[in-house]
Amino acid sequence: MSSGDIDFMRAALELAVQAEAAGEVPVGAVVVKNGAIIGRGYNCPISTADPTAHAEVMALRDAARSLGNYRLADCTLYVTLEPCSMCVGAIFHARIARLVYGAADPKTGACGSVIDLTAELRLNHHMEMTGGILAEEGGGKLKQFFEKRRKTRVTAARGINENCH
């Protein structure tokens, strides 16, 4: 872990805040090449009605537009949450050289938490990977988001029950 890793993860965390402000699960991602951010993204599947609009995919799309190429060789992807299998597939297809993620995802993580696609030797692309960078910050944002969502649902359910006679 380097100070650059922390700085770029902080940039991804800022995007997670934007996702939450938009009512989305707070996950953010940036793509970095030669020390500069060339792609940014945050979760937006709800607002875009697009199940593939995860932070990683949005950042990869933005970076590909920036470079004019769908291959993102020599790039690093920073994401606040361990990628799911869909996102790992997109990361592989983009040929990302290095993946850095924050919090582990015990429900859908595909970098070791549930499955580890990055260790699958039969796949044709492999990358360097570092997990746990600012994990408490990213994981804390997610925990607070879902706690708030559960409280809202409970409060709404109580209101419905109180209105029933």
Please, are residues 139 and 13 in contact by the beta-carbon 8 Å criterion? no
Q: Is 137 a catalytic residue?
A: no
Dist. CA 55–CA 44, nearest whole Å: 7
Instruction: Identify the active-site residue in 14, 56, 120, 136.
Output: 56
Residues 6+ apart with CB under 8 A from 6: 133, 134
Distances (CA, A) of 130 to 42, 44, 77, 80, 156: 20, 25, 10, 12, 40
Q: What does R_g of the chain's alpha carbons equal in angstroms?
A: 17
Residues 6+ apart with CB under 8 A from 144: none
- Which of 12, 87, 15 shows the shortest CA–CA distance to 51? 87
Give start and end residues of each alpha helix (H) in the chain: 3-21, 45-48, 55-67, 85-94, 135-163
Catalytic residue numbers, as ranges: 56
